[in-house]
Structure 1
Amino acid sequence: MLKIRQKLFQLGVSALFISSTVYADDTIEFNKGIPKLQAKSYVLMDYNSGQVLASLNPDQRHYPASLTKMMTSYVIGSALKQGYISNDDKVVVSENAWGAKFPGSSKMFLNLNQKVSVADLNRGIIIASGNDACVAMAEHISGTQKEFINVMNQYVKKFGLKNTHFATVHGLDDPNQYSSAYDMAIIGSRIIRDLPEEYKIYSEKEFTFNKIKQNNRNGLLWDKSMNVDGMKTGHTDEAGYNLVASANNANTRLISVVMGVPTYKGRETESKKLLKWGFANFETFKPLQAGKSIAEQSVYYGDKNKVHLGSFTDSYITIPKGKQSQLKARYELEGKVLKAPLVKGQVVGKVIYQLAGKDIASANLQVMEDVMESNILGQAWDWGVLTVKGLFN
């Protein structure tokens, strides 16, 4: 029964994948006046719009260290959401997951053959950054670490990450394991969006197990100058100090990633600089509301003459503060005209946002209702109309 569950879970990877309908355009200059950071690479991303507000070497490959545990956490959270495992499941700690196997590195301090709940192990991964807990959960879900890593890399592919590959479940350095600041921002955003119950754990400041209390290593959770509610730290000698952090302010949520910072406290200092700069200089709003029609367009060869166009998902856009009144929008169809049949939700074009004369973002334009083909007479009439129009184009 366990093997059946494991196979089904691996096949179910695609079930939670949702593609974004908002696309940022790199033609606008967002990162003027950005503070200088001591990091080998960094990214500041708006969570809702996906717009990268500032970056340095965003696609450069680095050892992710314990940032790896974010993908481990995603796999666990997905398994919980899909019902393949439950928080009350008891996991028996194997020889591989025994805390003694990880001397000198972060761990939950698991004892050999100890029975531990999934809920505790999950917190041991996210809060205490336990390498031992990662192995225990990998074996519980997939049977072996190798099979669990395969699932992690399936998600890498589904998320479209170009500079990430996992070779461990915990993040200890491996020559075949790497990620980038941009890819880590995407993984962070997917946890927040897809797995809100999983993300809540990232805000917890401490975790006690086996009478050992460990604080969350993300020191920004204690910073009262901004509302940081996640995410994850990482460090090895090769990786340096890494931190993915997320904070929200009014209607804006930002995700920062710093990699290769030289000091422990520096990763917090540099992340804070990025987040504060982002909140001070940008704002995010929702110009396109899910389910709301924005235009009515003629349609040919159909049982209707007009069709409503809009979007079935909210779209967000991030712009410099004070520029909202200057924002313009237009929509463009993929073809010259719309022709039946059309299916509700079908993408037929794009809404394009423009600022200072430059296209800065776009969103999919969708048909809001079905349009069936008309009868022969109706189609003949529309053919004639289009033929006449073609003479004047």
Structure 2
Amino acid sequence: MTRSAPGERPRPRVVHVPDAHAYVEHVSRLPEDVSVRPAPAVPGATAVPGVPSGPAGRLPRFSWEDGPQWVRAHAAEFDVLHVHFGFERLSVAELTALVAALAEAGRALVWTAHDLTNPHLVDQALHEQQLAVLAEHAAAVLTLTPGAAEEIRRRWGRVATVVPHPHLAPAEVMARVRPGTRGAPVVGLHLGLLRPSTDRRVVLALLDAVTELPTATLRVHLREEVLAAGFPRPDRELVRELHRPSRAGRVDLRVGGRLPEPALWDELSSLSALVLPYRWGTHSGWVESCYDVGTPVVAPESGRWSEQQPVHTFRSGPSGPDRASLVDALRRAVAAGPRRSSVASERLSGRTRGVVEHDRVHRLVAAGDRL
């Protein structure tokens, strides 16, 4: 562990898994550290002003495939393993072997619960078993919203520390002040790779509902892989339903690759609203990204999205979305329009609080506490 101020618990060496992700970057390093501090000794290590960053050099990147062996080989070089996501590929036995290796080495496990229901899976059985292993063995559990914390308490009897999702957009993007609405409103729908939680019924209802806003354009982004032979989740009927109004000029259908930055921020900033077409899920990076740039979000009442940031919700059930509710949510979002004020200061302050809270939790568990 690295040195700390007198009377303060030693600052632990933390390995975040994964380490190369915007969320992890923003909960482990303060905004000013990104530009003025050298890379931390441990991938994703928490950086706090006035605290030395530890010895030079980096650990080899953690690998899920050889997790227990990695822990045994490098136990002397870290104090806390903080798991976020990516464990979906492991069997229950493999995940259990990892937490056992951490216990044998005397290293603490921290888990941030992002997806209590996995948006990439239809059958949640394995995911639920994996979460049960993490909930049982983690020295501390974190999550993003009070509703998720209550679900964790109900399902596993653990008290989760709530640390809100940090910003995702760069500070210079958040600092932009958007002009007033000009021209016809544009409603965005990012379907990506048609993840299993995508509700095709919401998509089809949206094609109809947007006609209630006669001046509005529906802009749909679809990854080109969806149209390729061998795509694992083909939905040719949905694709046909998207192409039909596209040819008629009522839908702006854009098929291509993943939008890189800064094109993504320009795209989100150009929208009057973004619709989340989900059947299930817990938290969403889209909600945070849209909040960063001032774009209203329309989402079903399920999930914890409205606890992350204010969103315009619509009702949706086993038979699909309620059309009147969806139209009402769209109208409210478009009428509200983009937020014109910047949230850069608020978001950067929130990020600082999140980093400090992570550091507090890491210090406690590294010292042997179970929260």
TM-score range, shorter chain: under 0.3
TM-score of the superposition, structure 1-length normalised?
0.24
Give the structure with higher Rg (CA). 1
Q: Judging by fraction of residues, say which structure has more helix.
A: 2
Between the two structures, name the one with larger relative contact order (CA 8 Å, sep ≥ 6): 2
Higher strand fraction: Structure 1 or Structure 2?
A: 1
